[in-house]
């Protein structure tokens, strides 16, 4: 058996595709996210693949809930080999002087503090076994900044720095720490960012071929299937039509 993989934000997009792909790679899956009905549908799909799946509704922003989740995992599920810190979002896009405090707090609480809460709760299961692989889903927004991206950019730069810091601190335990930094992936990301405005979300991906969630799941699968002495530390993955955060070749 490949082992056990925990994926946060598995109810949609990259997280859902990653959970399904890691099941194909032979992992049993712990899937979390806030939307319980979607988690149950995902569990059925994973069990159809012949893998075990445990689902746990979880808001990564609530530290006590995250710690309780980790504490309550049955012993056999605590042997987590792969943690994919994927749960995240952008809320809004616009000049900082017009920024919305609720948006800022949601992004910082989820993308930075949530990632830390989950890592803090799960890392002890890895250090005790001197084994594990943590994959943080960053972004091109963590490598570059773009107009109106300010706080989201800041959170993803934090993910980039935290990934490098975790890799240094966990080296003595033989734990691999990697980042995947995608460019534009067509998921529910823009629908969330633009507060449910489907037209604005569709416009984001109009006129070019964006990445699919499965493309990022494929990169996760690549990272976890390397031999134990290989750590693919960082992967920046763009659609062919995207050259930088702001240079995207769109057809009319």
One character per residue 212-231, x = contact with ligand NDP (rule: CB under 6 A): -x------------------
Cα gap 10→3, rounded to integer Å: 18
Cα gap 117→141, rounded to integer Å: 22
Matching residue, tokens 């059925």: 44
By the rule CB under 6 A, 216 interacts with ligand 8X3: no
Nearest distance from C-beta of residue 168 to ligand NDP, angstroms = 22
Q: Which tokens in the block code for residue 25?
A: 């790679």
Nearest distance from C-beta of residue 169 to ligand 8X3, angstroms = 25
- Find the binding residues for ligand 8X3 in span 174-203 (CB under 6 A): 184
Nearest residue to ligand 8X3 by CB is 139
For residue 152, indicate whether it is catalytic. Answer: yes
One character per residue 12-51, x = contact with ligand 8X3 (rule: CB under 6 A): ----------------------------------------
Q: Which does 245 bind (CB under 5 to 8 A by kind): ligand NDP, ligand 8X3, none?
A: ligand 8X3
Phi-psi region of 221 (alpha: psi -120 to 50; beta: other; left: phi over 0): alpha
By the rule CB under 6 A, 141 interacts with ligand 8X3: yes
Kindly state the DSSP code that residue 26 receives in the 8-state scheme.
T
Q: Which does 130 bind (CB under 5 to 8 A by kind): ligand NDP, ligand 8X3, none?
A: none
Q: Which tokens in the block code for residue 12?
A: 């949609």
Q: 137, 170, 220, 238: which one contacts ligand NDP (CB under 6 A)?
A: 137
Please pick, among 146, 152, 205, 222, the residue that the annotation labels catalytic: 152
Name which of 233 and 246 has its Cβ closer to ligand 8X3. 246
By the rule CB under 6 A, 85 interacts with ligand 8X3: no
- With 0-12 / 13-18 / 19 or more C-beta atoms within 10 angstroms meaning exposed / middle / buried, residue 188 is middle
By the rule CB under 6 A, 139 interacts with ligand 8X3: yes
Active site residue ranges: 152
Interface residues toward ligand 8X3, by CB under 6 A: 139-141, 149, 184, 245
């Amino acid at each position: 058996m490949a082992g056990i993989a925990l994926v946060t934000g598995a109810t949609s997009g990259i997280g859902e595709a990653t959970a399904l792909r890691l099941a194909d790679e032979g992992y049993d899956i712990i899937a979390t996210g806030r939307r319980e009905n979607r988690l149950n549908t995902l569990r059925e799909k994973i069990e159809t693949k012949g893998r075990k799946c445990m689902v746990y509704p979880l808001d990564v922003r609530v530290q006590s809930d995250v710690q309780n989740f980790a504490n309550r995992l049955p012993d056999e599920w605590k042997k987590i080999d792969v943690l994919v810190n994927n749960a995240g979002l952008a809320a809004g896009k616009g000049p900082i002087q017009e920024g919305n405090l609720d948006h800022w707090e949601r992004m910082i609480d989820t993308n930075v503090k949530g990632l830390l809460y989950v890592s803090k709760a799960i890392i002890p299961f890895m250090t005790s076994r001197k084994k594990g692989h943590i994959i943080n889903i960053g972004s091109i927004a963590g490598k570059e900044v773009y107009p109106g991206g300010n706080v989201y950019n800041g959170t993803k730069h934090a993910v980039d720095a935290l990934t490098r810091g975790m890799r240094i601190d966990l080296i003595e335990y033989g734990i691999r720490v990697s980042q995947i930094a995608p460019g534009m992936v067509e998921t529910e990301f823009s629908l969330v960012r633009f507060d449910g405005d489907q037209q604005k979300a569709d416009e984001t991906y109009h006129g070019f071929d964006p990445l699919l969630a499965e493309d990022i799941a494929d990169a996760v699968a690549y990272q976890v299937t390397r031999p134990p002495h290989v750590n693919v530390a960082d992967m920046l993955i763009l659609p062919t039509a995207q050259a930088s955060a702001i240079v995207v070749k769109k057809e009319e």
